[in-house]
Amino acid sequence: MSDSFIEGLSRLELQLSEKAIKEEIRFLDELLRWNQRINLTSIRNRDEAIEKHLLDSLLLLPHLHNAKQIIDMGSGGGLPGIPLAIALPTLQVVSIDSVGKKINFQKHIKRLLQLDNLTVVQSRMEDLELGALDRGKCDLIVSRAFSSLETSLYCALPWLKSGGRLLVMKGPEGRNELKTAEATIGSLGFTDPTILTYHLPFSQAERQLIVLRKQNPDFIGDNKS
């Protein structure tokens, strides 16, 4: 158990079960342990990782809107997908990354914590094959430290259903990226772009969440940027 994690949840007004809290910390400790041998994250301080990895990922919880399945694009060491899978056992999480060592770590966590609701796929989003996911069926896709907003739009497009949402987690640069991608947003059939600004509970570091909705049911795209 971690007092700083519990305090952070309280400050963010997030509630997790005792079992979930223990598993979140176990995941983080495994991330930092593996990080001593392979590069999974540049953050090595435990308290900093609790805030900038766990708590930052869990800030998505109020924005899931009862989604049954989410895709985490370019998940790296499993963020934000694994913390969300731990917090919501009924949520199906598909975690996608192209780097083998990061996928191996995620598979280790899946076995260790018995996360039956987590599917781990090694692939670039641009190269993802049919069968790995249901094309045009997903209601929510998330990305964190993945790529530019424009690239995220192209990668998410083929897999989102009509009315599905894309959540892109950014730092203070989010608003500028949204402005730069305005033409692409419209041309790809996305609408209702909004940006939410929030701050992490201890460092007060600024984060921005860009939310977009796919409205064109006939626009599947070719999954290439």
Q: Do the Cβ atoms of 160 and 219 come closer than 8 Å?
A: no
Q: Number of helices and strands (H, E) in the chain?
A: 9, 7
Task: State pLDDT tens for residues 49-100.
Answer: 999 999 999 999 999 998 999 999 999 999 999 999 999 999 999 999 999 9
pLDDT given at position 224: 42
pLDDT surpasses 80 at 137: yes
Which pLDDT band, with edges at 50, 70 and 90, does 218 fall under? low
CA-angle at 166, arms to 109 and 168, nearest 5°: 70
Reduced to 3 states (helix: H, G, I; strand: E, B; else coil), residue 167 is strand
Q: Do the Cβ atoms of 96 and 121 come closer than 8 Å?
A: yes
pLDDT surpasses 70 at 225: no
pLDDT surpasses 50 at 213: yes
130 DSSP assignment:
B
Residues 6+ apart with CB under 8 A from 65: 140, 165
Closest CA relative to residue 118, chosen from 5, 214, 27: 27
pLDDT given at position 132: 60
Which pLDDT band, with edges at 50, 70 and 90, does 126 fall under? confident
pLDDT surpasses 90 at 221: no
CA-angle at 172, arms to 169 and 176, nearest 5°: 90
pLDDT surpasses 90 at 223: no
Which pLDDT band, with edges at 50, 70 and 90, does 136 fall under? confident
CATH hierarchy code of domain 3-214: 3.40.50.150
Give the chain's mean pLDDT: 92
Q: Tally the C-alpha atoms within 13 A of residue 93's C-alpha that lie toward its C-beta.
A: 30
Which pLDDT band, with edges at 50, 70 and 90, does 25 fall under? very high
Q: Tally the C-alpha atoms within 13 A of residue 22's C-alpha that lie toward its C-beta.
A: 5
pLDDT, average across residues 100-114? 98
Contacts within 8 Å (CB) and 24+ apart, 4-12: 4/47, 4/50, 4/51, 4/202, 5/50, 5/54, 5/55, 7/201, 8/50, 8/51, 8/54, 8/55, 8/201, 8/202, 9/55, 9/58, 11/201, 12/55, 12/58, 12/59, 12/201
Domain layout of the chain by residue ranges: 3-214
